[in-house]
Structure 1
Amino acid sequence: MGKKNKQTESKHLKRFHYTIDTAVDKPFNWQQMVRLMKFMKPYAKTLLPAAMIAMLISTAVRLVVPIIIGRLTIDHALANRDTGLLVQLVIFIGLLYLFNYIANMLRIRWVNQLGQNVIYDLRDSLFSHVQRLSHRFFDSKSAGSILVRILNDVNSLQELFTNGIINLLMDIVTLTGILVIMFILSPKLALAVMIILPIMFFISTKLRKNIRRSWQQVRIQQSRLNSHLNESIQGIRVTQSFSQEKENTEFFGGVNRDNFERWRIATKKSAMFRPFVEMSNAIGTAILIWYGSHLILTDPNMTTGIFVSFAFYLGMFWDPISRLGQAYNQLLMAMSSSERIFEFLDEQPNVKEREDATELKDIKGHIEFDQVKFSYDEDRIALHQISLEMKAGQTVALVGHTGSGKSTIANLISRFYDPTEGAVKVDGHNLRDVTLDSLRQNISVVLQDTFIFSGTIMENIRFGRPDATDEEVIEASKVVGAHDFILRLADGYETEVEERGNILSVGERQLLSFARALLANPRIIILDEATASIDTETEQKIQSALNRLLKGRTSIIIAHRLSTIREADHIIVLENGRIIEQGSHDVLMKHQGEYYDLVKAQFQMLGAS
């Protein structure tokens, strides 16, 4: 990559500082693997034992056939020219292979069912857990890095659960059976053939650390790749607006090349194991031919049949050894992925619900901040010892420059965060003492950037109250003025709005969010710059709808358009996380303080435009 591309990549890496994980060298964590295996527990009495029984039957058939061929067929039937016994043995071997075929077919079916069920449960548990995490978690993790864990990392465990575990057990049983049988048949020849094993074990052990770290790097690079893809697709309009397609493509090329290199290195290291096994097989075969021939000539206990059986078992021996190497690679990949999965599963919400938390019922909506201090991090204090009161049914407006603490207050009321010091109360209940569901079921939040889910208009409005009837959805839409534009759509309320509601204008999406909030029928409603994306004419049209939406509810309005809040019962002016003045519009205008200056400046801007 050229100098310019490197500079471009270096510059863009800064925006991914929160998504890049680091590889850590540590021993294979068997406790973590045991924890992963616990996801098989629900199937420990059904699919797992059935698959293991089928595996044992198949393995037993494979182990007994070489003895039948060597000891019975060659040393007895052929040596004694017993045609009848030979025919019987051929038929018996054929029946054993048929039995083996049926056992293998059932094993494959059952292990695939087992694996798919485990993957389903694991992904479901991970997604459910992530849904309950606090906003601080999502502040520090990109959407792409979360997607990697729920999709890629879980998918990487699929091969382990569908084939890896049962195959690993089958290969261990096979190897153990082969070793036992070989030593029973001829201890001398078995020792001679197995002399290569200690050397093989020593060298393969040296490869483990490098292979495991390589697969860690693969997962990390995939996280970066997915993070960039997610950001690029979400921000495509901004990219095209600033004509940065070329720069974005160059950066993606760098990330994509890194991903390719990590995969190439990991597969290269993993691929070293099989040729090494094949070389060991060649050495073992040479020893078998040389020393086996010597024993046939010198040892009366060594027969041609035993030699042939040994040849079969030696051929069978190295395949499981090779597969064990592949299984170890699978375990390394699984551990790399499971580390990242359990990192999320072990993540605890910063906003924790107490075991004895009470449910909020029939609340009035009285809100109180008692000496509340809040910091997003140690270096950034968002609120300084705030004390305020919002009476039930009152409309309270929060005014101030960007970063003054308006949205922080709204976030604390919804308990997306807990205060660093002090307490936030609703109807006298400290929010730390109530259940999150009962609190948030009484609160509706309408944001400036309205999120519309894939699905129909009807489903999006009903999102906050799934049991609402179609008539209630339509009534809520009429109240906020969304009904008319919905009817003009191709399929009305059944129109599919696509991802993020791209077929709708910004104002139409905002009207849907008002309808969604009204349908939920909350006691507390928060409008966080909710009308900022709506033109003045549309805002005037829905002003009566807003009055209907806010009527009888405790309402918190955050808005830069002061025309939106002049009718509020109480206005709180914030600056740098402190309340500098508060009162009604008329009182604050008479005071001629910060609020007066804001109103004056805004009217001057309108006059200039």
Structure 2
Amino acid sequence: MQAKAFDTHLFKRILKYTKPYRKRYYGVILFAVSLSVFAALRPYLLKQTVDAYIKPKDEHGLLFYVMMMGIVLLLETLSQFYFVYWANWLGQDIIKDIRTKLFKHMLSFRMKYYDTAPVGQLVTRSVSDIEQIARIFSQGLFMIFSDLMKMAVVLLFMFFMNWRLTWIVIIAMPILVYITRIFQRKMQVAFEEVRTQVANMNTFVQERVTGMKIVQLFNREEIEYQKFKQINEKHNKAWIKTIFYNSIFFPVAEIISSLTLAAVVLYGGFHILDGDKFTTFGDLFSYTMFITMLFNPLRQIADKFNEMQMGMIAANRVFDILDTDKDVQLGGTKVAGHFKGAIRFENVRFSYIEKEEVLKGINFNVKPGETVAIVGATGAGKSTIINLLNRFYEIDSGGIYIDEHNINDFQMESLRKQIAIVLQDVFLFADTIHNNITLNNPSISREDVIEAAKKIGVHKFIKSLPGGYDYDVKERGVMLSSGQRQLIAFLRAYVSNPSILILDEATSSIDTYSEELIQKATDRITQNRTSIIIAHRLATIINADKIIVMDKGQIVEEGTHQELIDKSDGYYKKLYIAQFMTTTE
């Protein structure tokens, strides 16, 4: 949706964020008014100085009026300082509040939202678009108000001093207003295109930088380079269009201003030569200043309106995210305490895409403290079960229960606090190992982390790193191997002391040594708690209390390893034999 030039509803919504800063808001307006008065007073004092003191050669009066102009200039400067400072200060505080609200809102989205929303676009909304909103106040709204006030006060002074000369100026103003309006409309379209191209470029660069290994591995450098050139060219053309409109408008506006000044000087000069007592040399001196003070704001209002327009467009994009309610996760009211760990799926149906079911009426039970493995081919729906248990997605029908309570009844935060997941693809932040383990939870001390690391057998590995627990793993944990990242993930899960533990193919892509450490860690952290293990290597789940076998979104078999192996033509037996033969070979 494209933001309108003067979208009243959107503008009022932005102004609501000024409520906590009302004193500063009205203070900016007050300084804008005082700035207008002091600015218009200087040319008037100049007229008085020329007509009443320079022409009669009154040195005493001349000195007094020069001092008066100096005082007015000082007051104007102070007003200008506080006006600009407070307007920018207000804008920064407002975007601080909007950015905080936006990030909190984004944290509440279901995973479904992030499946379709480009990361680069979200980054653009959260950073550059919000920064642009600040310019509504620093370069747009208050500047326009100040300029309009200055123009109104200047016109009052001009009519008071010489209404004949003032009408010459007024006749020229509609021409400049009309040209400004045309310019503004053109710039509105151009700036919308600029913001679109900026978002496209951010998305493209973010994805390529994140996936640089794939780009280089498959020799796609030249292809991606050519794609980037095309996107960059569109971005360039969008900006060139705005530059073109500016290049036309400002020279035309300057010509109109100069012609108006020439007309005033010519008209006033002839009247002075003819002995007209209503026009004085002081009028001509002051009007050269007044015309500049009147036309410059009028000319610059278009530019400031563009800043305002870009801020409105940016605000519209940000509010589009803030208004997204359908993807917000709604938790219940019940606070989840420490679960016993009984889990029940009752005729659960789910689809990522409408009418394309991934789970087709799933039913199973997990007893408290039981270790259950889920196996099956890729795409069978194993990981989907885990996503639904954590309410990353909402089911289409059926029910999921923990300790006989529907998970929808629990507060989201308390539910997830009792469930820990170790994923195959471990995500680590660019931070220390300690902070990646605790995730900056103040209730988990360094001593707790070290004790837990010793219990699951990873303390020695961590201490071998430079800096130990303070070792910076860099972005996404690139300084560690995949096996080391898995060990950190196991420790992260263990120190959170969850009621339910989930291992999602946690040993599918690591070396033998790391697997031995992880197997020991698994044995330790699954003790006395309900555990669900999604496994690709069937040898790792032989000792599970129960194995659930899935195929095409349905449970096809269920039982212990031995029970499933004993089935002569069972699905699990075929999987196990095929994997065992591959391993032997």
TM-score interval (norm. to shorter): over 0.9
Deviation at 1:26, TM superposition (A): 4.7
Question: Which whole-Å deviations, capped at 9, do the CAs of 1:135-169 have from their partners, x for residues lacking one?
Answer: 11111112211111112212223433334333222
1:30 aligns with 2:8: yes
Q: CA separation in 1, counterparts of 2:137 and 2:4?
A: 24
Contact kept in structure 1, 2:507 and 2:518, CA below 8 Å: no
Asked if the contact 2:49/2:62 (under 8 Å) is kept, the reply is yes
Greater displacement, 334-343 / 506-515? 334-343
Distance 2:456 2:137 in 1: 52
Mean alpha-carbon deviation: is it higher for 435-444 or for 344-353? Answer: 344-353
Amino acid at match of 1:35: R
Q: Distance in 2 between matches of 1:69 and 1:224?
A: 54
Q: Who is 1:380 aligned against?
A: 356
- Map 1:207-222; keep pairs closer than 5 Å: 207-222=183-198
Which of the residues 517, 523, 541 maps onto 1:565?
541
* 1:286 aligned residue: 262
Q: State the match for 2:487 in structure 1.
A: 511
Aligned sequence identity (%): 34
Alignment map for 1:291-306 (pairs within 5 Å):
291-296=267-272, 297=274, 300-306=277-283
- Cα-to-partner distance string for 1:528-570 (whole Å, 9 max, x where unaligned): 1111122234323432321111112111111111112221112
* Whole-angstrom distance in 2 between the partners of 1:67 and 1:122: 44
1:67 counterpart = 2:67:
no
Q: Cα distance, 1:572 vs. partner?
A: 1.3
Contact 1:270 1:329 in 2 (8 A): no
| Pairs within 5 Å for 1:7-22 | none
Structure 1 position 364 matched with structure 2 position 364? no
Given that 1:524 and 1:555 are in contact with CA atoms closer than 8 Å, whether structure 2 keeps it comes out as yes
Q: Which stretch has the larger CA shift, 477-486 or 416-425?
A: 477-486
The answer for the alignment partner of 1:19 in structure 2 is none
- Mapped contact 1:461–1:515 kept (Cα < 8 A): yes
Is 1:227 paired with 2:203? yes
Separation (CA, whole Å) in 1 of partners of 2:455 and 2:237: 58
Alpha carbons 1:157, 1:334 under 8 Å: kept: yes
Give the CA deviation at 1:97: 1.3
Going from structure 1 to structure 2, the CA distance change for 1:465 and 1:552 (only over 3 Å counts) comes to farther
Shift of the 358–80 alpha-carbon distance from structure 1 to 2, 3 Å rule, reads same
Give the aligned CA root-mean-square deviation in angstroms: 2.1
Equivalent residues of 2:87, 2:137 under 8 A apart: yes
Is 1:39–2:42 an aligned residue pair?
no
SS in 2 for 1:153: helix
Q: Secondary structure in 2 aligned to 1:104?
A: helix
Shift of the alpha carbon at 1:503?
A: 1.0
Checking the alignment, whether the CA contact within 8 Å between 1:123 and 1:150 is kept in structure 2 is yes
Q: Which moved more, 1:154-163 or 1:563-572?
A: 154-163
Tell me, what secondary structure is at the counterpart of 1:44?
helix
Does 270-279 or 466-475 show the bigger shift? 270-279
TM-score, normalised relative to structure 1: 0.91
Q: Given residue 235 of structure 2, which amino acid in structure 1 is its aligned partner?
A: N
3-state SS of paired residue (2:520)? helix
| Secondary structure in structure 2 of the residue aligned to 1:370 | strand
2: CA distance between counterparts of 1:421 and 1:283? 75
Question: What is the CA-CA distance between 1:449 and the residue it aligns to?
Answer: 0.5
CA shift, 1:472, in A, is 1.1
**1:353·1:434 contact (CA, 8 Å) conserved in 2?**
no
Following superposition, the deviation at residue 464 of structure 1 comes to: 7.2
Query: Match for residue 12 of structure 1?
Result: none
Q: Secondary structure at the residue paired with 1:133?
A: coil
* C-alpha displacement of 1:79: 4.0
Which amino acid is the alignment partner of residue 278 of structure 2? Answer: N
Residues 122-141 of structure 1 mapped to structure 2, 5 A cutoff: 122-141=98-117
> 2:73 matched to which residue of 1?
97
Does residue 120 of the first structure (1) align with residue 102 of the second (2)? no
Residue 352 of structure 2 aligns to a residue in which SS? strand
Deviation at 1:412, TM superposition (A): 0.4
Q: Distance in 2 between matches of 1:101 and 1:206?
A: 33
Q: Which residues in structure 2 correspond to 1:5-404 (within 5 Å)? A: 24=2, 26=4, 28-45=6-23, 47-70=24-47, 72-296=48-272, 297=274, 300-348=277-325, 350-354=327-331, 357-404=333-380
CA distance in 2, matches of 1:288, 1:194: 11
* CA 1:351–1:585: 2 relative to 1, 3 Å: farther
SS of match in other structure, 1:556: strand
Aligned residues: 583
Q: d(CA) in 1 for partners of 2:55 and 2:519? A: 104
Q: Secondary structure at the match of 2:358?
A: strand
Classify 1:209/1:388 alpha carbon distance in 2 versus 1 (closer, same or farther; 3 Å). Answer: farther
Deviations 1:105-136 (A, max 9, x none): 33333333323322322222222221222111
Q: Which amino acid aligns with 2:136?
A: L
Q: Which amino acid aligns with 1:538?
A: S
- When residues 351 and 309 of structure 1 are mapped into structure 2, their CA distance, relative to the original with a 3 A threshold, is closer
Partners in 2 of 1:185 and 1:312 — Cα distance? 13
Q: What is the CA distance between 1:396 and its match in structure 2?
A: 1.4
What is the alpha-carbon distance in structure 2 between the residues aligned to residue 107 and residue 207 of structure 1? 27
Q: Which amino acid aligns with 1:403?
A: G
Partner Cα separation in structure 1 for residue 163 and residue 355 of structure 2: 72
1:25–1:458 distance in 2 versus 1, CA, 3 Å: closer
What is the CA–CA distance in structure 2 between the aligned matches of 1:542 and 1:223, rounded to whole Å?
Answer: 42
Deviations 1:429-486 (A, max 9, x none): 2222211001000011111110111111111111174321111101222233221111
Q: Determine the C-alpha separation between the residues in 2 that align with 1:30 and 1:272.
A: 30
Distance in structure 2 (CA, Å) of the matches to 1:351 and 1:580: 34
The one-letter code of the counterpart of 1:368 is R
1:602 aligned counterpart, secondary structure: helix
Q: Structure 2 residue aligned with 1:576, among 552, 565, 568? A: 552
Question: Which of 395, 398, 421 is equivalent to 2:397?
Answer: 421
* Pairwise CA distance, 1:527: 0.9
Q: Does the aligned pair in 2 maintain the 1:77–1:86 contact within 8 Å?
A: yes
SS in 2 for 1:555: strand
Q: Distance in 2 between matches of 1:97 and 1:28?
A: 35
Superposition deviation, residue 210 in structure 1: 2.7
SS at match of 2:362: strand
With the length of structure 2 as denominator, give the TM-score of the two structures. 0.95
Tell me which residue corresponds to 1:432: 408
Residue type matched to 1:582 in 2?
A: E
Structure 2 Cα separation of the partners of residues 267 and 527 of structure 1? 56
Q: Distance in 2 between matches of 1:478 and 1:111?
A: 56
Q: Distance in 2 between matches of 1:193 and 1:104?
A: 26
Higher mean alpha-carbon deviation, 154-163 vs 547-556, is at: 154-163
* CA distance in structure 2 between the partners assigned to 1:464 and 1:430 by the alignment: 30
Q: Distance in 2 between matches of 1:116 and 1:410?
A: 42
Q: 1:25: how far off? A: 7.4
Structure 2 distance, partners of 1:295, 1:585, is 110
- Is 2:450 the partner of 1:450? no
